[in-house]
Structure 1
């Protein structure tokens, strides 16, 4: 069997708030609640399992998601409708904008726990020839 990522735990101040925020922005649904975890499943079967931990214990992480053009349009519309601060760059120097890196589109925004979220329509380096 090839090695595949099955799930990862995402630390949150409030697991339900963070899972709901993420699911809402990407047009997904909360897929499971198990013990201290609230999961959101991605289209490739990987789940993000949100877990509440003390805020001072959260180390901000970066999560990047490859999405279709249509998914990007829908997610970006929700980001703007909800007034979520967003940026064209990871250093947050270009607020309220998207980028066109590698011939696609991308946007950065923060989740409620302070994790940097990124949506891209083309993988870094572009599509293989």
Structure 2
């Protein structure tokens, strides 16, 4: 059996702004509309499908982790730092303004405009020496 991740729905009060934020930060193509969604395409035919929720409905923040190359990490982290976006080396936000070096790689956590916890990492957890 072969199982691949295909997509997930990301709740937003402004799906266009949230999808555009991530696509631009990651250097991805512009989000594309599909039905009621704004779709951010990722590798392996996976996508984040942003959907609007009513303004009076709270967003329940989720966690999204992205495995990136070293050069992509440099580019993305450069934008995070340049824009002064709050970021942390840990999921509990106890090490602000830092990156981590777990598993002989690098990782950082930040929030998207809706408060979702985003993470970029260069090595999968448990892969280090």
Q: Where does residue 90 of structure 2 map in the other structure?
A: 89
For the residues of structure 1 that align with 2:9 and 2:44, how far apart are their CA atoms?
A: 16
Kindly report the root-mean-square deviation, in angstroms, between the aligned alpha carbons of the 2 structures.
1.5
Q: Compute the displacement of 1:35 (Å).
A: 2.2
Q: Where does residue 63 of structure 2 map in the other structure?
A: 62
Give CA deviations for 1:62-98 in whole Å, capped at 9, x if unaligned.
Answer: 0000000000000000111122111111111111110
* Structure 1 unmatched ranges of 5 or more: none
For the residues of structure 1 that align with 2:88 and 2:121, how far apart are their CA atoms?
A: 12
* Structure 2 unmatched ranges of 5 or more: none
For the residues of structure 1 that align with 2:58 and 2:114, how far apart are their CA atoms?
A: 11
Q: Is structure 2 residue 46 aligned with structure 1 residue 49?
A: no
Q: Is structure 2 residue 20 aligned with structure 1 residue 20?
A: yes
Which runs of structure 2 are paired with 1:1-129 in the superposition (5 Å)?
Answer: 2-55=2-55, 56-126=57-127
4+ aligned runs moved over 2 Å, structure 1: 54-57
SS of 1:30's equivalent in the other structure is: coil
For the residues of structure 2 that align with 1:9 and 1:106, how far apart are their CA atoms?
A: 24
Superposition TM-score, scaled by structure 2 size = 0.92
SS of 1:23's equivalent in the other structure is: helix
For the residues of structure 1 that align with 2:53 and 2:2, how far apart are their CA atoms?
A: 32
- The alignment covers a number of residue pairs equal to 128
For the residues of structure 2 that align with 1:2 and 1:103, how far apart are their CA atoms?
A: 29
2:85–2:110 CA contact under 8 A, matched in 1: yes
For the residues of structure 2 that align with 1:31 and 1:23, how far apart are their CA atoms?
A: 7
